[in-house]
Amino acid sequence: MGTSKQSFGLLFLVSILLSGNFFICRSLADGVTAEEARQLRDEVREMFYHAFDGYMEHAFPLDELRPLSCEGEDSLGGYALTLVDSLDTLALLGDRERFTTSVEWIGKNLQFDINKTVSVFETTIRVLGGLLSAHLIASDYATGMKIPSYDNQLLNLAEDLARRLLPAFDTPTGIPFGSVNLLHGVDEHESKITSTAGGGTLTLEFGVLSRLTNDPIFEQVTKKAVLGIWARRSKLNLVGAHINVFTGEWTQKDAGIGTSIDSFYEYLLKAYLLFGDEEYLYIFQESYQAAMHYLFNDPWYVEVNMDSAAIVWLLFNSLQAFWPGLQVLAGDIDPAVRTHAAFFSVWKRYGFTPEGFNLATLTIQQGQKSYPLRPELIESTYLLYKATRDPRYLDAGRDMVASLQYGTRCPCGYCHISDVEFHKKEDHMESFFLAETVKYLWLLFDLAVGPDNLVENGPYKYIFSTEGHLLPATPQISLKREHCSYFGAYCKDGDSKQGSETSGVSADPQETNGSKFYGSWVHTGFPSDSFLESTSVPGLIKGLCPGLTHGQKYGITYLPLVDTAPEDVSPTQKEPSQPTVVQSHSVVVVSDQGAHLIQSKPNSDHKNAQEVSPGRPESDPPKI
């Protein structure tokens, strides 16, 4: 493999030199000022409302907006998908009125007792995740967005929906079918082939639901699915793109970090961060090391055969752009900086990232010219800025806002780009544009101004789902071991009579809620073996400890005001350490000139079904 990596690196460098025009990516001198960052934040807010108001006026209660024709369409299940997907963005923007109105409408009108066959993956990350995130915000005074009339309607809807998805997990491997009928279960003719990401990107939403309902079944089935995929990894610790859920045989053995596999890696680390389950961390470490060894051709990533590691495709696909952000969470900053610079050079060249960019010819991959408003590169830009405070990422964000405003803005929203070379618009707007794309842009510039939002200044640390939904690390969700001696703790069977105790427990909510987590979810070192020893494995939640106050349940202590000298500040209240600033790297990135197109590889993107690969069920709806 070392020889093939060297050969590819030499080929890539030679191809750039021969193209006659290459550039080196360095920190940009034309930095975004504080005032400009404030203006950009407000501009992104206006972008959200242009699209949201367009949906509500012209498409609601259908699933998604057609922003050119100002009409609506049902694309997933016919249950106001864009509204559900947008709920926590409304809360993040502090729009109490519309958040309240939307939650109340959904609680009264949404139902899943319908004869619809839906994608398990898409329904989980968009609808189930949207309902759970909004429930956790609307039910909690600490978020500042609690709705007085709210009575767990969204949580009840989420549980009902998840139970309708459970039949998909009834397979010999535990890996779920790709689709399920919400009324009748899995059709007898349903395809037995699913993507790795489709089967392994369900743990956060189902795990949170288990901890909110005290029913372990949801967490159990999704973890079994992950273990079922991991048990069938190759000897190189690589996983393929598509698998038979009955036999466990791989039907597509291309291993990569993008299409059909991407969020499998993402949820391994995030499930550990949110739930504290060390098994997820172990699998992530093993799979990450394999990916960096066999897939990383600095600064790009390629696809290889999962058994032999032979390079299959020299291709950057747009879904890979989440990877630098994941590396930030893992603490592997240096390669994240270099890879982001390379990916962003593709954006700069076309104004957007095409679905596929061929690294051998330095041209757009045939049949993969579109940009469906994807957020992955923007997400990584936000997380890298949060980790490094390097102004180059604000410059990148400014360029992204300009591209979206001038290239995709339509009369009623924002349009897909069907061809990034000619910026040809398509009459469709995915719900994730409001759930993720504008959310990460807004967070980027709000962070630069001086953050005043739920994520940066709220009562909890948050994990973003793969759909950008906010999942808080409350004690109810994230405590490692459930003992009544902890604030907000949950008891195992036999402990239900034990009262909650507070002696010997820090009154600092940060210690109660997050002292065993890495800072603000942005790490400065890759998880080590020593960290494994410092954490504990969570048990299944069996019941609520009696007598808990609201403050104890959510890890918040309400203390009387006392006069305290400044020097009496507790050690647990020390200022967090300053983020590590990563120096800029000189990285060779793509040129402004390219060669001819080459023969295309079928797109197996489980998140955007515009092009369908062999062996993949065509019923999978699009997503990011």
User: Known catalytic residues?
Assistant: 122, 262, 355, 376
Q: How far apart are CA 163 and CA 185, in angstroms?
A: 10
Q: How far apart are CA 460 and CA 556, in angstroms?
A: 10
- 3-state DSSP assignment of residue 71: strand
For 190-233, what is the HEC assignment? CCCEEEHHHHHCCHHHHHHHHHHHCCCHHHHHHHHHHHHHHCCC
In whole angstroms, how far apart are CA 10 and each of 4, 15, 17, 314? 10, 8, 11, 13
Q: Using omega within 30 degrees of 0 as the cis cutoff, is the peptide bond preceding 546 cis? A: no
What are the phi and psi torsion angles at 573 (to 5°)? -105, 15
CB 126 within 8 A of CB 467: yes
> Which strands, in side-by-side order, build the sheet including 311-313?
254-255, 303-305, 311-313
**Ligand-binding site membership of 363 (annotated):** no
Q: How far apart are CA 122 and CA 108, in angstroms?
A: 23
Torsion of CA 156, 162, 167, 168, to 10 degrees: 170
Between helix 333-350 and helix 392-407 the angle, nearest 10°, is 30
Q: Whose structure tokens read 């958040």?
A: 99
CB 586 within 8 A of CB 299: no
Q: Chain centroid to CA 310: how far?
A: 29
In whole angstroms, how far apart are CA 432 and each of 153, 417, 435? 23, 15, 5
Binding site residues, as ranges? Answer: 466
Which residues are documented as binding site for Ca(2+)? 466
